[in-house]
């Protein structure tokens, strides 16, 4: 199936999404979010960090994702993980990864890692 058929690419927001970084080698994209306030002024409101894997997401892929996420948070938000929405798109996720993400999302004081699968 087409990667862009995933729901995240169909949602609309009251504002702008701008690509500020893209890495074809690692299939990552960093989007800056801006919303329109009541005075019709664009207000910066954080980032989406998306990484796509053309394979099932396993421990190595998750480690790569988390390392890149950590670097983005340090560079763009001075360490504030709440400003970045992390998203992984993969062909699938093994049960260990799903369990880790579930526990991480329950416990961490950060934005939850969103998972989307496509293909197979």
The pLDDT, as a whole number, for residue 29 is 94
Mean pLDDT computed over 103-119: 90
> Which of the four pLDDT bands, split at 50, 70 and 90, describes residue 13?
low
| pLDDT of 55 over the 70 cut | yes
Contact 64, 97 (CB under 8 A): no
Output the pTM of the full model: 0.83
The pLDDT, as a whole number, for residue 5 is 58
Domains of the chain: 3-117 (3.40.1350)
Picking from 50, 55, 48, the residue whose alpha carbon sits closest to that of residue 90 is: 55
Name, in order, each residue with C-beta under 8 angstroms of 59's C-beta and a sequence gap of 6 or more.
96, 97
| pLDDT of 100 over the 70 cut | yes
Mean pLDDT computed over 26-36: 91
Between CA 46 and CA 72 the distance in angstroms is: 12
Picking from 67, 81, 65, the residue whose alpha carbon sits closest to that of residue 115 is: 65
Query: Which of 25-29, 42-46, 73-77 is predicted with the least confidence, judged by mean pLDDT?
Result: 42-46
Report the mean per-residue pLDDT for the chain.
88
> Which of the four pLDDT bands, split at 50, 70 and 90, describes residue 109?
confident
- Residue 56: phi, psi to the nearest 5? -65, 140
Query: Could you report the per-residue pLDDT of 80-94, keeping only the tens digit for each?
Result: 999 999 999 999 999
């Amino acid at each position: 199936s087409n990667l862009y058929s995933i729901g995240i690419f169909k949602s609309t927001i009251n504002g702008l999404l701008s690509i500020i970084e893209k890495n074809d080698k690692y299939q990552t994209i960093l989007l800056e979010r801006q919303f329109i306030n009541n005075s019709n002024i664009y207000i910066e409101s954080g980032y989406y960090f998306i990484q796509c894997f053309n394979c099932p997401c396993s421990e190595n892929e998750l480690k790569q994702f988390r390392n890149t996420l950590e670097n983005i948070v340090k560079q763009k938000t001075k360490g504030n993980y709440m400003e970045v929405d992390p998203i992984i798109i993969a062909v699938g996720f093994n049960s260990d990864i799903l369990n880790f993400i579930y526990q991480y999302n329950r416990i961490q004081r950060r934005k939850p890692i969103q998972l989307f699968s496509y293909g197979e």
